[in-house]
Copies of this chain bind each other. A is one copy, B any other.
Amino acid sequence: MMFASDNAGPAAPELMEAVVAANAGSAMPYGADPLTASVTERVREIFEAPDAQVFLLATGTAANALALSALAAPWSAIFCHRHAHIEEDECGAPEFYTGGAKLTLVEGEHARIDADALSRALKATANASVHNVQRGALSLTQATELGAIYTPAQVRALSDLARAHGLPVHMDGTRFSNAVARLGCTPAELTWKAGVDVLCLGASKCGAMAAEAVIFFNPDAARAWEFQLRRKRGGHLFSKMRYVAAQMDRWLTDGLWLELAGRANAAADRLAAGLSEGNLATLVHPVEANALFVSLPRAAHRRLHAAGAQYYLWPPGQTLEGPEDEMLTCRLVCNWATEEAEVDAFLAAARG
């Protein structure tokens, strides 16, 4: 019963096979191999973006921080949600890679940026002088850290605001596949057609061992080259790139990425449905991707703990000590490999 994180899940067997297959013989290093080229082709096709530039990395934090460093000057502000991963869970990587840009926090329910709040925040910077940080970029997290997603229309509304103030738009797509699988829209509709300039597309949480792609939709030779220098300088240019590429290549083949994401989403739905039955638990946020935030009585948490369920109370820092009937919120994250039996065992333990 592993619900601690989708990071705790295994890699999909198809990707493992692709990696093993990629191991045959020699291959030129640093991305000069056929698999890396193939990834770019797949991304361009899937995203209907024939000019996209695609760069492979192995962690989501590196992808986000490097992408932001390409968009936002050291003396600029990056607008993001108060609960964005880049703000809360990257130990200041965006500040490190940008050379000290400021993350300006915006509010919104379920960790989704509210358009009015963004509008106010942008307006507050309308008269930036030499004493103030300048406008840098807008960053959206898809799906959000609280399990919600942005529709294409919502992305568009926020992008329009950003663009009206001269800001490029970054999307942290660590769980982009979960969002696309849920919405049923095209990847293009959820990104560049809705105003996104750069997408960090994450496979690590949904079937890969470690594979992320930074996708620039608006090509610019100088920026693309600069990004490669930034990646190298950050120590993120893999010599044996073929193994990262093999994962991403297979993930994007035959719709596997959406199939895996769909499985994780379905497991979350099953878990949500089961927990909602008989008022066992309260959903704190809507379940739109593969994560749930639910309140359960402490007694239920104790039963789950005893049964071996792994997950985090949320926010961290609460304990199992205390009154039995007090409600405690927890985070439950499903991954592509979460089995129905695992969900059902969780539900049974929760019910007691």
Chain A residues in the interface with B (C-beta under 8 A): 2, 4-5, 7-11, 13, 16, 19-20, 23-30, 57-63, 65-66, 73-76, 88-93, 95-103, 105, 124, 126-127, 129-134, 204-205, 209-210, 226, 228-230, 232-240, 243-244, 310, 315-317, 337
Contacts and interface: CB of A to CB of B under 8 A. Distances in A.
22 contacts: A8-B28, A9-B26, A10-B23, A10-B25, A11-B23, A16-B19, A23-B209, A30-B131, A61-B232, A74-B92, A91-B229, A91-B232, A95-B95, A95-B102, A99-B99, A102-B103, A105-B105, A127-B315, A209-B243, A210-B239, A210-B244, A234-B235
Contacts of A23: 10-11, 13, 16, 209
Residue among A58, A230, A316 with max Cβ neighbours from chain B (10 Å):
A58
Contacts of A19: 16, 19, 209
Contact of A29 (B8, B16, B230): B8
A340 to B, nearest CB: 16
Given A2-B26, A19-B19, A317-B126, A209 B131 contact: no
Residue among A10, A13, A62, A105 with max Cβ neighbours from chain B (10 Å):
A10
Contact of A89 (B26, B131, B244): B131
Contacts of A95: 74, 95, 100-102
B237 A59 contact: yes
A100 B91 contact: no
Contacts of A244: 210
A310 B25 CA distance: 13
A93 B205 contact: no
Given A19-B209, A92-B133, 6 more contacts: A11-B240, A62-B235, A90-B131, A91-B131, A91-B229, A95-B95
Given A28-B8, A75-B230, A92-B74, A62 B236 contact: yes
A228 B130 CA distance: 7
Contacts of A89: 131-132
Counting from the closest, the 4 A-B pairs by CB-CB distance are A62-B235, A95-B100, A7-B29, A2-B26
Given A19-B19, A130-B228, A234 B29 contact: no
A310 B62 CA distance: 32
Contacts of A124: 315
B100 A236 contact: no
Contacts of A11: 23, 240, 243
Contact of A61 (B7, B101, B127, B235): B235
A91 B130 contact: yes
Given A239-B204, A243-B210, A234 B93 contact: yes
Given A16-B20, A93-B235, A95-B102, A229 B75 contact: yes
B30 A10 contact: no
A20 to B, nearest CB: 6
